[in-house]
C-alpha cells in the first residue's frame, strides 16, 4: 500500500525536464563562457572575471562564482592571487592540459578541487558555492570549493525547549546538522548518506544512522522511498515526511520530527534512522511509534522518578486534550446523573441563560481558541499583548458575563488547550486537535457510547498502523514486556540494561554495571538478570 502511494504520486505529475542532455565543455574558453551565460541568463549575482595577459605568455583564465555563496576573502587569497602571482604558470608557455594539472596539484591552496567535464556539472558546482576556473584551450574546468555564505548561528531550539540539557538546536545548514551528530556519536559506525532531491531545488538530504544498529530492512525501505521521490522541490522536512511516510489515511504522524541534535542522537542509538534536510532545522526520525512521541530527551536528563511522573502527566494530558470537551458535552447532555448533585446544580445554574446547546457552545469556544492560537503564531510580535488581552478578557470573561458561554465551558476549553501543549511532539498534539472536534460531534449525538465507540475505532486504527514495517503501538501491542521500561514509566538507567529492538535493531546490552552491583541486581531480577550478559 505504501508503495502504491508513492507510485501514484509519481504518476500524477509528468516530470518536466529541467536539465537538457549533458553537454561537454569545449576547448575554447569564450565558447564555454558564452554557453554558461546562455544557461544562467543575465543574473546579477553571477560574477565572471577574466584574466588575460598576452604579454606574459600565461594562458588566459576566467573565474566564475556566485556572489553571496562564496567567501570573498577566500576567493581572492586562495584562488585569484595564487594564479596571478604564480611564476611557474607565467614562465612556461605550457600546453593547457599541463597547466591545468599544475593549477590543480600545486598552485591552488584551497581544500576541495574538482574537475568538471560538462556544463551541467559545472553549473551544479557553481550553485554550491564553488569558484569555477576556466582555462583557455582546456576542455575541463576546475571547481574550487570556496563556499561560504551567511548562516544563522546555532541557537536554542524554539519549539522543543528543555530546562536541563543541551541548549543547541539544528540550524538550516545540513553540514552543521551532521557535524552536531558527529560530535555526539564519535563512532566509525555513524554513517551519513547524502541525497539530492528536488529537480529544481536540488535539496541536500542526509540519511544518518548507526551501521549495524539501524535495521537493514528499514534502511532499505527508506532508501527506496527516497529514491522514488520525484518532485520539483523540497523546501522543508515535511515534504519528505509526507512523501515517504506509510500510505493510508491517518491523522497520526508516523515519522518523528525534532529540532534537537541530542534527541536525534538518542533515536539513532536506539536504531532509528535520522533524515536531515538542508534548509530547515527540523530533522526527521523514522520509524516512529506512537509512544515515541511522548518521550522527550529531557526524560533522560532528569532523575527517573520525576521523568516517570512527567510521562504519566503527558499521557493524562493526551487523554484530557482528546476527551475533556467531549466528556463535558456527553455528561451535561446525556448523563447528568453521573455528577454529584452539588456540581450538577452549579453547572445547571451556569448554563441556565446560555442560548446554545453544550455541543454548539463547545464548538464555538474551541474554534475561538484555535483562531486565537493561529493569530498568536501569525501576528507581529509588537501587538502580542493586545491579542492576549482581547483573548483573555473579551472572549473569556466578557463572553461569560454576557451569558453567551458558561464559565465551566471556558475552564474546559482552556484546560484542554493547555493540556495540548504538554505533549512534547507538536505533530501528535496537532493530530488530536483535529480528532477532538470529531469526538465532540460524536459526543453531542451519541453521548458516552459514541465516545467509547470512537475510541475503539481509533484503537483498531492505530493497532493497524505501521511505520516502515514497525507496528505503531509497539512495544505495547504487540507486547514485548522487556521493552516496557521506557514507555509509561522511565525506569532508572541501571534498570534499562538492554537496548530495546523496538525499531527493528538487534537487541544489545546498553550498559555494563560494575561487577558488585551487577550481582545484586541479578539476584533481584532473578531469571531476567541474564539479559545483562
Partner 1 sequence: MSRIKKRVTGLQISFMVILFEIGSTPLFLLGADAKQDSWLAMSAGAAAGFALLLLFLWLQQRLPEMELPEMLRFGFGRIAGTFFGIVYSCYFAYQSMRNVRDFGELTALTILQSTPMSITMLVFILIAAYAIWKGAEIIFRLPEILLPGLLFCYFLLIILFILMGNADIKRLTPVAENGLWPILQAALPEILSFPFGQMIVFLLLWPLWEKPGVPVKNTVWAYVGVSVFLIFMNALNLAILGPVLAGSFYLPFLESVRTLSSLRFIERLDILVTLMIFIGLFIKIVIWYYCAVEIAASLTRTSAKWWVFPLGALIYAASFIERNYTQHIAVGLGPSTRIDTIFQIAIPLILAVAAALRLQSSRSSA
Task: Using CB under 8 A, list all residues that contact partner 1.
Answer: 334-335, 337-341, 446-450, 452-453, 456-457, 459-460, 463-464, 471, 473, 476-479, 481
Which is nearer to partner 1, 239 or 290 (by Cβ)? 290
3-state helix, strand, coil in the chain (%, to 5): 50, 15, 35
CB of 439 to partner 1, least distance (A): 15
C-beta of 382 vs 460, nearer to partner 1: 460
Residue closer to partner 1 (CB basis): 169 or 475: 475
Please work out, in degrees rounded to the nearest 5, the angle formed at the alpha carbon of residue 521 by the alpha carbons of 520 and 523.
65
Residues 6+ apart with CB under 8 A from 23: 35, 118, 119, 120
Cβ at position 1, least distance to partner 1 in Å: 13
Instruction: Identify which of residues 200 and 335 has a Cβ nearer to partner 1 in the complex.
Output: 335
Query: Is the Cβ of residue 3 or residue 477 nearer to partner 1 in the bound state?
Result: 477
Specify burial of residue 293 (Cβ count, 10 A radius: 0-12, 13-18, 19+).
Answer: buried
Collapsed DSSP state (helix, strand, coil) of residue 437: helix
- Give the span between the Cα atoms of 341 and 8, in whole angstroms: 58
Cell numbers of 96, please?
A: 593547457
Tell me how far, at minimum, the Cβ of 348 lies from partner 1, in Å. Answer: 14
CB of 291 to partner 1, least distance (A): 12
Nearer to partner 1, 225 or 485 (CB): 485
CA angle 188, 189, 191 (to 5 degrees): 100
C-alpha 446/C-alpha 432 separation (Å) is 20
Helices (H), 128-260: 174-184, 216-228, 237-244
Length of the chain as a residue count:
533
Judge contact between 246 and 466, C-beta under 8 A: yes
Q: Which three cell numbers stand for residue 236?
A: 522543508
Considering only the C-alpha atoms of the chain, give the largest distance between any 2 of them, rounded to a whole number of Å: 105
| 258/289 with CB nearer partner 1 | 289
CB of 459 to partner 1, least distance (A): 6
* DSSP code at position 79: I
Q: Whose Cβ is closer to partner 1: residue 463's or residue 491's?
A: 463
Q: Which DSSP state fits 152? A: P
Q: Which is nearer to partner 1, 41 or 526 (CB)?
A: 526
**Cβ distance to partner 1 smaller for residue 239 or 334:** 334
Query: Which residue, 78 or 440, is less far from partner 1 as judged by CB?
Result: 440
CB of 311 to partner 1, least distance (A): 16
- Shortest Cβ distance from residue 185 to partner 1 (Å)? 33
> Which residues touch 450 (CB under 8 Å, ≥6 apart)?
330, 442, 443
Nearest-CA neighbor of 66 among 143, 135, 139, 138? Answer: 143
Residue 249 host element (H or E): none
CB of 341 to partner 1, least distance (A): 7
CB of 163 to partner 1, least distance (A): 31
Instruction: Return the H-helix or E-strand segment holding 143.
Output: strand 141-145
**Shortest Å distance, C-beta 464 to partner 1:** 5
Q: Compute CA distances 77 → 67, 80, 90, 152, 500, whole Å.
A: 16, 6, 18, 25, 53
Helix (H, G, I), strand (E, B) or coil at 474: coil
Least Å from the CB of residue 501 to partner 1: 14
Q: Is the peptide bond between 149 and the residue preceding it cis, with omega within 30 degrees of 0?
A: no
Between CA 336 and CA 315 the distance in angstroms is 27
| Closer of 240 and 440 to partner 1 (Cβ) | 440
Question: 473: which residues sit within 8 A by CB, 6+ positions away?
Answer: 289, 290, 291, 462, 463, 465
Q: Considering the complex, what minimum distance in angstroms separates the CB of residue 213 from partner 1?
A: 24
Cα distance between residue 288 and residue 268, in whole Å: 11
DSSP H or E run through 435: helix 426-464
* Residue of 462, 382, 110 whose CA lies nearest to 454: 462
* Shortest reach from residue 451's CB to partner 1, in Å: 10
Which residue lies nearer to partner 1 by CB, 241 or 486? 486
Amino acid at each position: 500500500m505504501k508503495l502504491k502511494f508513492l507510485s501514484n504520486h509519481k504518476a500524477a505529475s509528468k516530470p518536466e525536464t529541467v536539465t537538457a542532455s549533458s553537454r561537454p565543455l569545449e576547448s575554447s574558453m569564450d565558447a564555454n563562457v558564452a554557453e554558461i551565460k546562455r544557461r544562467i541568463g543575465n543574473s546579477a549575482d553571477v560574477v565572471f572575471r577574466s584574466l588575460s595577459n598576452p604579454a606574459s605568455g600565461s594562458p588566459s583564465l576566467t573565474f566564475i562564482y556566485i556572489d553571496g555563496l562564496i567567501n570573498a576573502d577566500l576567493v581572492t587569497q586562495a584562488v585569484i592571487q595564487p594564479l596571478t602571482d604564480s611564476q611557474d604558470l607565467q614562465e612556461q608557455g605550457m600546453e593547457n592540459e599541463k597547466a591545468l594539472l599544475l593549477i590543480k596539484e600545486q598552485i591552488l591552496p584551497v581544500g576541495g578541487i574538482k574537475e568538471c567535464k560538462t556544463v551541467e556539472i559545472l553549473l551544479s558546482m557553481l550553485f554550491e558555492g564553488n569558484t569555477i576556473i576556466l582555462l583557455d584551450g582546456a576542455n575541463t574546468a576546475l571547481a574550487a570549493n570556496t563556499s561560504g555564505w551567511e548562516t544563522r548561528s546555532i541557537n536554542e531550539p524554539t519549539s522543543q525547549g528543555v530546562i536541563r540539557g543541551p541548549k543547541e538546536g539544528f540550524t538550516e545548514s545540513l553540514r552543521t546538522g551532521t557535524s552536531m551528530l558527529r560530535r555526539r556519536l564519535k563512532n566509525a559506525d555513524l554513517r551519513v548518506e547524502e541525497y539530492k532531491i528536488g529537480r529544481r531545488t536540488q535539496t541536500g538530504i542526509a540519511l544518518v544512522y548507526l551501521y549495524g544498529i539501524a535495521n537493514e530492512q528499514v534502511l532499505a525501505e527508506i532508501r527506496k522511498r527516497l529514491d522514488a521521490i520525484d518532485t520539483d522541490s523540497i523546501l522543508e522536512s515535511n515534504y519528505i515526511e509526507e512523501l515517504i511516510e506509510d500510505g493510508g489515511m491517518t491523522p497520526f504522524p508516523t515519522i518523528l520530527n525534532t529540532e534537537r541534535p541530542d534527541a536525534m542522537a538518542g533515536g539513532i542509538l536506539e536504531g532509528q534512522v535520522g533524515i536531515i534536510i538542508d534548509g530547515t532545522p527540523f530533522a526527521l526520525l523514522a520509524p516512529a511509534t506512537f509512544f515515541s512521541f511522548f518521550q522527550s530527551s529531557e526524560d533522560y536528563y532528569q532523575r527517573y522518578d520525576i521523568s516517570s511522573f512527567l510521562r504519566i502527566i503527558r499521557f493524562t494530558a493526551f487523554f484530557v486534550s482528546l476527551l475533556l470537551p467531549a466528556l463535558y458535552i456527553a455528561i451535561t447532555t446525556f448523563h447528568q446523573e453521573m455528577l454529584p448533585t452539588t456540581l450538577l446544580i452549579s453547572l445547571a445554574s451556569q448554563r441556565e441563560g446560555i442560548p446554545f446547546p453544550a455541543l454548539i457552545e463547545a464548538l464555538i469556544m474551541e474554534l475561538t481558541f484555535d483562531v486565537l492560537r493561529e493569530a498568536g503564531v501569525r501576528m507581529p510580535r509588537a501587538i502580542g499583548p493586545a491579542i492576549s488581552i482581547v483573548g483573555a478578557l473579551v472572549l473569556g470573561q466578557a463572553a461569560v458575563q454576557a451569558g453567551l458561554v458558561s464559565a465551566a465551558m471556558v475552564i474546559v476549553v482552556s484546560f484542554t488547550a493547555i493540556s495540548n501543549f504538554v505533549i512534547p511532539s507538536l505533530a501528535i498534539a496537532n493530530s488530536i486537535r483535529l480528532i477532538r472536534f470529531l469526538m465532540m460531534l460524536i459526543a453531542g449525538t451519541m453521548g458516552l457510547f459514541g465516545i467509547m465507540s470512537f475510541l475503539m475505532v481509533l484503537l483498531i486504527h492505530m493497532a493497524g498502523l505501521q511505520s516502515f514495517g514497525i507496528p505503531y503501538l509497539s512495544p505495547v501491542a504487540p507486547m514485548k514486556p522487556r521493552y516496557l521500561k521506557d514507555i509509561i514509566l522511565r525506569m532508572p538507567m541501571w534498570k534499562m540494561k538492554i537496548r530495546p529492538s523496538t525499531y527493528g535493531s538487534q537487541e544489545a546490552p546498553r550498559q555494563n554495571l560494575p561487577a558488585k552491583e551487577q550481582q545484586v541486581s541479578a539476584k533481584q531480577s532473578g531469571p531476567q538478570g541474564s539479559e545483562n550478559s
